[in-house]
Structure 1
Amino acid sequence: MIDISKLKCLGIFAGGVLFGTAGIKLLSSKDAKKVYTNCTAAALRAKDCVMKTATTVQENAEDILAEAKMINEERAAKEAASVQEDECDEQTVEE
């Protein structure tokens, strides 16, 4: 005689095969292909938007860096001029 637990296992296996076959049919249908295509197109649009934003941020960061370097160069030039004036003043006082 067939045990009920064996019948359960056989029923679960048959259900899994049926569900798998239906799933493959569903996933390979024309409607599913349209959904995949639309999702991929949306992902590409999102990628373009993110890349534009990243490029803008990078350009702004480069501008900030260039301006910061100019400020530091100007400050160094002023300090060098200040040091030279101090040296000239000291030489004048010594004479």
Structure 2
Amino acid sequence: MFSDSLMKKIGLFAGGVLFGTAGVKILSSKDAKKVYTTCTAAALRAKDCVMKTVTNVQENAEDILAEAQQINEERAAVEEAAVQEAEEDGAASSDNGKM
């Protein structure tokens, strides 16, 4: 009456429907809800940990930036003083030559 391949297809379809129905019931059970809740709580804890680390890294980066700016300001002041000193030496030597 029915060929073997048609019976296999019907059997696979019926098995899929049963497996799908059982899967939905399992996924919506109280035990599954507990698992989902536990996993969500763990994800939130991980998020908190990551955010603390990010905050720490940002604070360190701000400190590094402030120190680097201070170093550059000090270096610029030293270079400016050296330029002024060189200009004064040059002006003094040209004044000595005029006398």
Same-fold status (TM-score > 0.5): yes
Task: Find runs of 4+ consecutive structure 1 residues off by over 4 angstroms.
Answer: none
Q: Which residue of 2 aligns with 1:87?
A: 87
| TM-score, length-scaled by structure 2 | 0.93
Q: Which residue pairs with 2:22 in the alignment?
A: 22
Shift of 1:90: 1.1
The gaps in structure 1 that reach 5 residues or longer are none
Question: What is the aligned partner in structure 2 of residue 7 from structure 1?
Answer: 7
Q: Distance in 1 between matches of 2:94 and 2:20?
A: 99
Determine the C-alpha separation between the residues in 2 that align with 1:87 and 1:10. 99
Identity of aligned residues (%): 73
| Structure 1 position 89, deviation (Å) | 1.0
Q: Which residue of 2 aligns with 1:36?
A: 36
SS, match of residue 2 in structure 2: coil
Instruction: Tell me how many residue pairs correspond in the alignment.
Output: 95
- 1:47 aligned residue: 47
CA RMSD in angstroms, aligned pairs only:
0.6
Q: What is the one-letter code of the residue matched to 1:77? A: A
Where does the alignment leave 5 or more consecutive residues of structure 2 unmatched?
Answer: none
Alpha-carbon distance between aligned partners in 1 of 2:91 and 2:25, rounded to the nearest angstrom: 95
